[in-house]
Amino acid sequence: MVHLQEVKATIDSGVELVAVSKFHPVEVLREAYEEGQRIFGESRVQELQAKQAALPPDIQWHFIGHLQPNKVKYIAPYISLIHAVDSFKLLAEIEKQAAKVHRTIPCLLQLHIAQEETKFGFTPAECTAMLQAGEWRELKHVQLAGLMCMASNTDNEQQVEAEFAQAHAYFNEIKSRFFADDPAFCQRSWGMSHDYRLAMKHGATLVRIGSAIFGEREY
């Protein structure tokens, strides 16, 4: 049973819903597809490959997990958005594989703002340094389309809101500094099942929602 409509009813206008379908079988994705969902998020390349092959071609597949550079080649032909770019090395590999298939792949830079040590991503200082270095401007098959982040996994809503607010402020800063003339740099991917309402208060344009739609995952 897919709770797509209930979740959709709570999404602000102007915010896009990425249905995070990782670990759920193809039949469940098809059910959401038949209810009109077209954007699905997956976090493992092998699983994504199998689902992409089995489901209709008008689905927009978003890669939301940590992506190893050596796996980019498998998804380059069809991926619509890569959410969690966390190194220049990965960006350079996406450039190489996108060029091979004559595509330009939209990518989000993953910002590390949560308290947890284990989360991937650029700190704001690292992200600014990478943008300042400017090599990304040479990557003609990569389109930097915005930022992605995950807030700390905590019940402390004030902390979660402070982190999303920080990400939003940082987005505005780099937007004006590096992307003022680039309308494509416009996406803010933050908010998951437990915190997307807070994320929408702080500028989210894409929310990545799994368990609230599909139920708990069995790993």
Ligand X SMILES: *Cc1c(COP(=O)(O)O)cnc(C)c1O
Q: Which residues bind ligand X (CB under 6 A)?
A: 20, 22, 43, 64-65, 150, 192-194, 208-212
Least separation in angstroms between CB 211 and ligand X: 4
Decide whether 67 or 139 has the Cβ nearer to ligand X: 67
Decide whether 19 or 139 has the Cβ nearer to ligand X: 19
Least separation in angstroms between CB 196 and ligand X: 8
Name 8's Cβ contacts closer than 8 Å, sequence gap at least 6: 17
Decide whether 150 or 160 has the Cβ nearer to ligand X: 150
Residue number of the CB closest to ligand X reads 210
Least separation in angstroms between CB 155 and ligand X: 14
Least separation in angstroms between CB 40 and ligand X: 12
Decide whether 114 or 139 has the Cβ nearer to ligand X: 114
Least separation in angstroms between CB 18 and ligand X: 8
Decide whether 194 or 201 has the Cβ nearer to ligand X: 194
